[in-house]
């Protein structure tokens, strides 16, 4: 699959995720895809289980913003924020493609935190 096609498939995937379209959201995955959540120590085996898990999430996202997508060949990374119940999580998704489908995804989630005052002279605030 050409990189342009992968980039378009990712754009469709993230738009569907933001819209809550769980069917279109999961079109990108291979039937035997693996999704890892390292912070909770969970592994989801198979597209059907991944879609079922996400379909049963108790809170629907109220905000979803892709910051950037970078990749080459079969390895692609998306940085985005997702908001659940007023809390934003900064998220990184690492996707590995084979034959045009995601075969392995690893997702990292991080909460926002206050910047310490001691380093303010060396930084700029970003949004």
Q: What is the model's pLDDT at position 69? A: 97
- Determine how many CB atoms are found less than 10 A away from the CB of residue 75: 13
Each residue's pLDDT tens digit, 26-60 = 999 999 999 999 999 999 999 999 999 998 888 77
Q: What is the model's pLDDT at position 86? A: 84
Q: Max alpha carbon distance in the chain (Å)? A: 50
* CATH code of domain 3-122: 3.10.450.50
Instruction: Give me 113's structure tokens.
Output: 């935190």
pLDDT tens, N- to C-terminus, the chain (127 residues):
589 999 999 999 999 998 889 899 999 999 999 999 999 999 999 999 999 999 888 877 778 899 999 999 999 999 999 988 888 899 999 999 999 999 999 999 998 889 999 999 999 988 6
Q: How are beta strands 29-37 and 101-111 bridged, if at all?
A: parallel
Q: What is the model's pLDDT at position 1? A: 57
Element containing residue 125 per DSSP (H, E) = none
């Amino acid at each position: 699959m050409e990189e342009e096609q992968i980039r378009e498939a990712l754009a469709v995937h993230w738009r569907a995720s933001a819209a809550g379209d769980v069917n279109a959201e999961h079109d990108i995955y291979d039937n035997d895809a693996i999704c890892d959540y390292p912070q909770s120590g969970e592994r989801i085996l198979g597209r059907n289980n991944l879609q079922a898990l996400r379909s049963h999430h108790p809170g629907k996202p109220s905000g979803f913003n892709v910051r950037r997508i970078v990749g080459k060949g079969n390895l692609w990374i998306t940085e985005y924020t997702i908001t659940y119940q007023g809390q934003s999580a900064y998220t990184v998704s690492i996707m590995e493609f084979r034959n045009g489908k995601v075969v392995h995804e690893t997702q990292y989630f991080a909460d926002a935190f206050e910047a310490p005052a001691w380093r303010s002279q060396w930084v700029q605030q970003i949004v």
